């Protein structure tokens, strides 16, 4: 499941980037801007779902707490069993 969800997020990333490039040359196109904003909202929801189930989608400096990175505590993406999201042992 993490791979399927990540692929969906990547598709949204691609669409958002493409619309952004279109808006570079068509800055007054309100339809494109509204579509980009709607895609961003949907992408954010997918990232929230991913992070609720599998941990940080992208590791940033916000993941540093104290003297260590917290993302190393959770299971890594390849430690999940395919299809059910349970941690492999």
**Nearest to 81, CA basis, from 53, 49, 41, 46:** 53
Res 51: pLDDT: 87
Tens digit of pLDDT for each residue in 51-89? 888 877 876 666 566 666 666 676 776 776 655 555 444
Q: Mapping DSSP to helix (H, G, I), strand (E, B) and coil, where does residue 12 land? A: helix
**Nearest to 51, CA basis, from 30, 28, 70:** 70
Beta partners for 65? 68
Tens digit of pLDDT for each residue in 25-52? 999 999 999 999 999 999 999 999 998 8
């Amino acid at each position: 499941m993490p791979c399927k969800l990540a692929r969906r997020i990547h598709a949204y990333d691609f669409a958002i980037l493409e619309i952004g490039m279109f808006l570079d040359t068509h800055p007054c196109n309100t339809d494109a801007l509204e579509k980009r904003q709607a895609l961003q909202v949907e992408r954010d929801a997918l990232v929230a779902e991913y992070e609720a189930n599998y941990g940080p989608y992208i590791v940033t400096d916000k993941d540093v707490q104290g003297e260590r990175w917290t993302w190393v505590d959770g299971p890594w993406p390849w430690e999940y069993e395919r299809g059910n999201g349970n941690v492999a042992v």
